[in-house]
């Protein structure tokens, strides 16, 4: 089992590369993780509402929007 003294030292560095496409040279960071998270939450909500026959397809998943979807499903039964 390797221990801390067995691991070689790690040198951390960074390099700034401003974006030529924005006025401040800024870039996005971390947005790629948001898409999967939102899809996971939407799927979890749909799984929770499945016994009611409700499926939501639009974000944000606000309480009024979920209640409206549940009422619409109840009115079609």
- Give the 3-state secondary structure of residue 44: helix
Write down the pLDDT at residue 4.
Answer: 84
What is the mean predicted confidence (pLDDT) over 46-74?
91
Which pTM does this prediction carry? Answer: 0.55
Residue 60, Cβ density class (10 Å: 0-12 exposed, 13-18 middle, ≥19 buried): exposed
Write down the pLDDT at residue 6.
Answer: 86
Structure tokens at 36: 């999967």
Asked whether residue 2 carries a pLDDT value surpassing 70, the answer given is: yes
pLDDT (tens digit per residue) in 25-56: 888 776 666 677 888 889 999 999 999 999 98
* Secondary element (H or E) of residue 37: helix 32-49
* pLDDT, averaged across the chain: 86
């Amino acid at each position: 089992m390797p221990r801390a003294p067995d691991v070689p030292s790690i040198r951390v560095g960074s390099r700034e590369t401003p974006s030529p496409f924005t006025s401040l040279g800024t870039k996005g960071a971390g947005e790629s993780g948001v898409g999967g998270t939102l899809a996971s939450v939407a799927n979890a909500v749909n799984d929770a509402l499945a016994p009611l026959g409700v499926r939501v397809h639009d974000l944000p998943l606000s309480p009024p929007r979920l209640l409206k979807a549940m009422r619409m499903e109840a009115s079609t039964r």
